[in-house]
Amino acid sequence: MAMQDRLVADADADALTPNNPYDVYTLGTSHAGFILRAAEVAAILDQPSL
């Protein structure tokens, strides 16, 4: 997870697309996390955007 977080931070996409910022969330799971932790994913997606 630490490497993934670093790659996302180093990419600095917010600087490349300042009118389209985004948030990054980490789930402690494998690639099937959106299925295994559907409630957590839904809670993240249900948050109002800023």
pLDDT for the residue numbered 43: 92
pLDDT for the residue numbered 31: 78
CA-to-CA distance for 11 and 40, rounded, in angstroms?
A: 25
pLDDT for the residue numbered 27: 81
Domain residue spans in the chain?
2-45
Question: How much is the pTM?
Answer: 0.53
27 and 35 Cβ atoms separated by less than 8 Å: no
pLDDT for the residue numbered 13: 65
Question: What tens digit of pLDDT does each residue of 1-50 get?
Answer: 677 666 666 666 667 777 877 777 888 887 787 788 889 989 988 988 75
pLDDT for the residue numbered 32: 81
